[in-house]
Amino acid sequence: MQTVGLLYHKGRSESTGLKDQILTELRARHLQVWCGPTDNENALIQAAPEMDLLITLGGDGTIVRAIRAVARHRVPILGVNLGRLGFLAEVEPSELDQVLPALLDGQYHIEERMMLRAELYRNDELILTAEAINDVVMARGRASRTVRISVDVDNHHVFSPTCDGMIVATPTGSTAYCLAAGGPIVAPDVHSLTMVPIAAHLGIAHALVIPAHRRLDLTLLKSVDAMVTIDGQHDEPLQPGDRLSNSASDNVARFVRMSENGYFYETVLRRLGWADRP
C-alpha cells in the first residue's frame, strides 16, 4: 500500500476531525495521501487510478458515490460510518484507533460485490449508460399517477403491471429501497438481480429474483411524468416506449473487511433491530 485516498464531508466537524486523525496516522507511515471533499466527484475520479485504498468518512450515500467513481479502477473502500444505519460501512469512528493500525499492517480481506449496469434506450437508440451498487428504479415522477411497465427476462415476457414503479436491485441494494418495498434480503455473495414492484395495483405483482447472467428489461408502456433513478442519486426523465435494460456489470465494488466472512447476517440483523439475542 503506497497511496491512500481520504474522502470527507468538509461541512461536518466530526468528518473533518476524523480526517485530521487519519492523516496523522497515514503520514506517520510515510504513505502518499490524496484528500478531498465529497462534493468534488471529478477530483476523486481523476485521482482513483493511483489509489491503493480509499477511506470514506460519511454514510452509505458517501460510499455509493465513491464506488461509482473508483470501481473501474478496482480501488477497495473502507467505510467509516457517520450515517444512521451504515449497511456498507465497515467501522464506527470509535473503532478507528484499533482498526487503522491493523489495516495498515495488512490485517484485512477484500470482499467483492456485484454491480448493476443499466442502459436506457429510446427508439432503439442508447441514450444513457449508468452503473449502480444498490438499485435502478423506473417509477412515476412528480405527477401522482401510476405507470404501466412491461417486464421481460432475456426477451421472455413476464408481466406488465400497473404500479408506482419498479426497482431492480443488486444483493447489496436488497437492504435499501428493495427492502422498504417488501422485497427479500439477498446475501451479498448470491449473484442475482431482484425486481420489486412498488405499490402494484390489486397486488398482482410480486418480487422476482433472477440469476445475474440474465438480462432484465423494463419498458415503459404508459406514464405521465416517469423517471429512472440510479442509486437514488441521479434522475433521468422518461417517455413512453423507453426501455431500460439491466444486467450485471463487468465492474465490482471492492470493500475492505476487518471482520469474519459471515459478518453480513449479524450486521443486518443488528442494524435493522431484528436481533433476538445480545
Q: Which residues are catalytic?
A: 60
Cell matching residue 38: 465529497
Q: What is the distance between the alpha carbons of residues 106 and 108, in angstroms, rounded to a whole number? A: 6
Which residues 6+ apart lie within 8 Å of 11 measured at CB?
A: none
Query: Cα-atom radius of gyration of the chain, to the nearest Å?
Result: 20
Residue whose C-alpha is closest to residue 219's, from 122, 109, 112: 122
| Non-local CB neighbours of 188 within 8 Å, separated by 6+ positions | 111, 113, 171, 172, 264
Rounded to 5°, angle at Cα 254 from 166 and 87:
55
Q: What single string gives the DSSP state of each residue in 34-72?
A: EEEETT-HHHHHHHGGG-SEEEEEE-HHHHHHHHHHHGG
Grid cell for residue 193: 438481480
CA distance 101 to 93: 14
Using alpha carbons, select from 197, 142, 140, 141 the residue that is nearest to residue 168.
197
CB atoms within 10 A of CB 81: 23
